[in-house]
């Protein structure tokens, strides 16, 4: 039974990836950091099938010890401080986890077993103030947040260890991907949650920042498949994963509210507090390499994604109400 080691297993992507790896017959070892409360909501349904271990990307010793003990053949490094606004308030912590944490994991691989295949969760946020439209593996980076800067480091250290030490280290440059398991502070989930609250008369308005920002939004369940495919290739590489379509926050609101028979204009209030010191205005991917080389394809389109998220929040909040 191949062993896969997943950091950030209790995050959005970790939960979908764990489901996929279990279906493919892996033993799944998931790393979580120590907390005074359990934070396993997204993986509750998998707890009897996966092995949960404690470790932290801040702590080199914990990574070395865990790899020595569990001897994985594949590592998916999904853990990060992943919320962009927090990266301006906690820039050094973001760099320590999201950038240097990658080096710590690569060092652990180098010392314990250089044959381990490594996936790094890189991000379209690295393209920032985009220098080319659409963005591909060859588009130069121009990050616009401490998070984006940290991800550029993580991407390049992955390539550097591939070239310096011949590690099988792949970097997936994933565009925004969402789901009913998305954290509540990210804009899509903030919208789907608010739509359900307003419809169920639990809230009266939704306060948002920049409605004109455009993102290439896909479904997280489709994207974890691409992560796995990257580690099954003969050679490691970098791959852009996205839908090739872009939509504004405003469009997301329009479809989400309309799905429950409401007009977003009556409920959405723009609020300065949610604007960013530097914005990423437009992201749109060119995923042709992944389609050609990995044979990767989407199953869920934009409208299906929005309605799936609203339906899930309606269901959850109806029960709560
Ligand atoms: P997420 O839901 O925020 O999950 C992040 C995970 O990292 C959580 O499990 C978190 O654990 C863990 N973590 C944070 N700091 C840690 C530390 N010091 N040591 C160990 N674990 C730590 O993020 P996601 O949406 O699943 O994204 C997964 C990865 O893909 C992230 O690296 C993200 O930056 C990247 N990415 C995401 C997207 C997207 O659109 N979702 C796009 C491109 C790239 P706690 O629960 O304890 O906080
Ligand atoms: N979070 C949030 N809250 N965003 C808002 C709001 C609001 O109230 N109002 C408008 N927005 C706009 C933001 O300004 C941004 O342009 C866009 O909505 C998307 O914001 P997020 O959903 O927070 O995601 P992100 O694009 O900043 O980052 C996500 O995607 C990256 C990939 O490009 C995260 O998942 C990152 O971890 C990931 O790397």
Residues with CB under 6 A from ligand 1: 7-8, 10-14, 33, 35, 39, 56-58, 78-82, 97, 121, 123, 174, 176-177, 183
Task: List, for residues 164-175, the tens digit of each pLDDT value.
Answer: 999 999 999 999
Atom index in ligand 1 nearest the CA of residue 151 equals: 34
Q: Three-state DSSP class for 142?
A: coil
Atom index in ligand 2 nearest the CA of residue 283 equals: 33
With the CA atoms of 14, 20, 26 and 32 taken in that order, what torsion angle do they form, in degrees rounded to the nearest 10?
Answer: 10
Question: Is 39 contained in some domain?
Answer: yes
Which pair of structure tokens corresponds to residue 144? 């616009």
User: Residues 168, 256: one domain?
Assistant: no
Q: What is the mean pLDDT of residues 80-107?
A: 98
Question: Is 103 contained in some domain?
Answer: yes
User: Residues 127, 160: one domain?
Assistant: yes
Question: Is 286 contained in some domain?
Answer: no
Report the mean per-residue pLDDT for the chain.
Answer: 98
Question: Is 25 contained in some domain?
Answer: yes
Q: What is the mean pLDDT of residues 24-30?
A: 98
**Residue-level pLDDT at 320:** 86
User: Residues 231, 275: one domain?
Assistant: no
Give the domain CATH number at 138: 3.40.50.720
* Residue 17 belongs to domain spanning: 3-177+216-241
Atom index in ligand 1 nearest the CA of residue 82 equals: 34
Task: List, for residues 147-198, the tens digit of each pLDDT value.
Answer: 999 999 999 999 999 999 999 999 999 999 999 999 999 999 999 999 999 9
Q: Which residues contact 201 (CB under 8 A, 6 or more apart)?
A: none
**Residue-level pLDDT at 3:** 98
Residues with CB under 6 A from ligand 2: 82, 84, 123-125, 175-176, 185-188, 190, 208-210, 213, 215, 249, 274, 276, 279-280, 283
Give the domain CATH number at 300: 3.90.25.10
User: Residues 143, 105: one domain?
Assistant: yes
Task: List, for residues 269-302, the tens digit of each pLDDT value.
Answer: 999 999 999 999 999 999 999 999 999 999 999 9
Considering every ligand atom shown, identify the ligand nearest to the alpha carbon of residue 11 and give its number. 1
Q: Above 90 in pLDDT, residue 221?
A: yes
Atom index in ligand 1 nearest the CA of residue 9 equals: 9
User: Residues 165, 265: one domain?
Assistant: no
User: Residues 194, 232: one domain?
Assistant: no
Per-residue confidence band for 76, with pLDDT thresholds at 50, 70 and 90: very high
Rounded-to-integer distance, Cα 222 and Cα 178, Å? 10
User: Residues 206, 159: one domain?
Assistant: no
Question: Is 171 contained in some domain?
Answer: yes
What secondary structure does DSSP assign to 71-83, as a single string?
--SEEEE--S---
CB under 8 A, 24+ apart: contacts of 135-138 = 135/240, 135/283, 135/284, 135/285, 135/286, 136/240, 136/285, 136/286, 136/288, 136/289, 137/173, 137/237, 137/238, 137/239, 137/240, 137/289
User: Residues 42, 71: one domain?
Assistant: yes
State the distance from the centre of ligand 1 to the C-alpha of 160, rounded, in angstroms: 22
User: Residues 234, 273: one domain?
Assistant: no
ω before 134 within 30° of 0 (cis)? yes
The preferred substitution site among 16, 59, 77, 79 for testing ligand 1, maximizing ligand atoms within 8 Å of CB, is 79
User: Residues 54, 75: one domain?
Assistant: yes
% of the chain surpassing 90 pLDDT: 99
**Residue-level pLDDT at 188:** 99
* Smallest CA separation from ligand 2 atom 36, residue: 82
User: Residues 61, 205: one domain?
Assistant: no
Question: Is 132 contained in some domain?
Answer: yes
Q: What is the mean pLDDT of residues 55-65?
A: 98
Question: Is 310 contained in some domain?
Answer: yes
**Residue-level pLDDT at 233:** 98
When divided into structural domains, the chain yields a total of 2
Question: Is 38 contained in some domain?
Answer: yes
User: Residues 263, 170: one domain?
Assistant: no
Q: What is the mean pLDDT of residues 230-259?
A: 98
Q: Which residues contact 164 (CB under 8 A, 6 or more apart)?
A: none
The preferred substitution site among 151, 215, 248, 278 for testing ligand 2, maximizing ligand atoms within 8 Å of CB, is 215
Give the residue among 176, 2, 170 at the shortest CA–CA distance from 82: 176
Q: Above 90 in pLDDT, residue 321?
A: no
Active site amino acids: 123, 125, 147
**Residue-level pLDDT at 230:** 99
The preferred substitution site among 175, 187, 277, 278 for testing ligand 2, maximizing ligand atoms within 8 Å of CB, is 187
* Smallest CA separation from ligand 2 atom 14, residue: 210
Task: List, for residues 97-129, the tens digit of each pLDDT value.
Answer: 999 999 999 999 999 999 999 999 999 999 999
Pairing outcome for strands 27-32 and 51-54: parallel
% of the chain surpassing 70 pLDDT: 100
**Residue-level pLDDT at 123:** 99
pTM comes to: 0.98
């Amino acid at each position: 039974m191949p062993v896969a080691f997943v950091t950030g297993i209790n995050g959005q992507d970790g939960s979908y990836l764990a489901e996929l790896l279990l279906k493919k017959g892996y033993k799944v070892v998931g790393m979580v950091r120590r907390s005074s409360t359990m934070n396993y909501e997204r993986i509750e349904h998998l707890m009897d099938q996966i092995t949960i271990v404690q470790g932290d990307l801040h702590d080199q010793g914990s990574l070395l010890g865990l790899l020595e003990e569990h001897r994985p053949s594949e590592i998916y490094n999904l853990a990060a401080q992943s919320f962009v606004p927090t990266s301006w308030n906690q820039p050094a912590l973001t760099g320590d986890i999201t950038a240097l944490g990658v080096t710590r994991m690569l060092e652990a691989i180098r010392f314990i077993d250089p044959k381990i295949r490594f996936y790094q969760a890189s991000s379209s946020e690295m393209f920032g103030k985009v220098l080319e439209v659409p963005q591909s593996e060859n588009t130069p980076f121009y990050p616009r947040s401490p998070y984006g800067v940290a991800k550029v480091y993580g991407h390049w250290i992955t390539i550097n260890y591939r070239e310096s030490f011949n590690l099988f280290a792949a970097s997936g440059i994933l565009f925004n991907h969402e789901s009913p398991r998305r954290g509540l502070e990210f804009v899509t989930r903030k919208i789907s949650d608010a739509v359900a609250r307003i419809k169920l008369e639990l809230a009266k308005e939704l306060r948002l920042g920049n409605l004109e920002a455009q993102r290439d939004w896909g479904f997280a369940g489709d994207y974890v498949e691409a992560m796995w495919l990257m580690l099954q290739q003969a050679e490691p590489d970098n791959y852009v994963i996205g839908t090739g379509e872009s939509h504004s926050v405003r469009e997301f609101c329009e479809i989400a509210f309309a799905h429950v028979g409401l007009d977003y204009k009556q409920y959405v209030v723009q609020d300065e507090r949610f604007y960013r010191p530097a914005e990423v205005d437009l992201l749109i991917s060119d995923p042709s390499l992944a389609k050609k080389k990995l044979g990767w394809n989407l199953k869920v389109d934009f409208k299906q994604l929005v309605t799936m998220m609203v339906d899930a929040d309606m269901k959850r909040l109806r029960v709560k109400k």
